A = this chain, B = another copy of it.
């Protein structure tokens, strides 16, 4: 076990990948070495061991890691057995897709509500609830315990939604809108910028195949 309280973001972001692979191997293999685990994740064995050592000694020298054991321990670190709640703001096709995303609930994330600004769809059923009016978002966040606001609204609405979110005591935002949001530093913001990813990917395509 090493110093806690200072685990780099980049390490935290790899934990779910370890967890996901280990979970897929439950019942298929009893043990796994850092080398084999790394191979399946396109990482290095050294990195796997280094990452895990932030949280303690999970392995057995000369043997490796017990899959079930390591899976459960990483799961606990990530809090997968705890219930957490999220709301979706923006009930377009992307918002609906997220609302129906089946995998979130497997790791403890539950949809609490969906909001939109379009009067024509407010009140419609979605994923077991009804689409709410976005004007009630702030009040909702203040009343209920919501961990994460998922923004699937258009770019021009996203900053306003982020402001309401941060102002209502919710400190987690997952943003799909193609804009860089400004939030207080105590707020955890992650972006999924689809167009950016496509552009960076296609930049590399232009260059590969040729050269060297």
Residues in A lying within 8 Å of B, measured CB to CB: 5, 9, 12-13, 15-17, 19-21, 24, 40-42, 77-80, 84, 86, 92-94, 96-98, 100-101, 103-104, 106-107, 109, 147-148, 171-172, 174, 178-180, 182, 186, 188, 190, 192-206, 208-209, 211
Are the CB atoms of A200 and B190 closer together than 8 Å? yes
Number of copies: 2
In the assembled complex, the CB of A200 is this many whole angstroms from the nearest CB of chain B, namely: 5
Are the CB atoms of A203 and B94 closer together than 8 Å? no
Bound: A196/B101 CA distance, A: 13
11 further A-B contacts with Cβ under 8 Å, apart from A79-B203, A174-B201, are A15-B199, A17-B196, A78-B199, A78-B202, A86-B198, A94-B97, A103-B178, A106-B195, A107-B195, A171-B208, A192-B197
Are the CB atoms of A201 and B196 closer together than 8 Å? no
Bound: A172/B15 CA distance, A: 26
Instruction: Collect the chain B residues with CB atoms within 8 Å of residue A201's CB.
Output: 148, 172, 174, 188, 190
Are the CB atoms of B107 and A199 closer together than 8 Å? yes
Are the CB atoms of A193 and B96 closer together than 8 Å? no
Q: Contacts A198-B104, A209-B186 given: A193-B16 contact, CB under 8 Å?
A: yes
Are the CB atoms of A206 and B174 closer together than 8 Å? no
Q: List 19 A-B contacts (CB under 8 A).
A: A9-B200, A9-B204, A12-B203, A15-B203, A16-B199, A16-B200, A19-B199, A24-B179, A42-B180, A79-B199, A92-B97, A93-B96, A93-B100, A101-B194, A171-B209, A174-B197, A188-B204, A190-B200, A192-B194
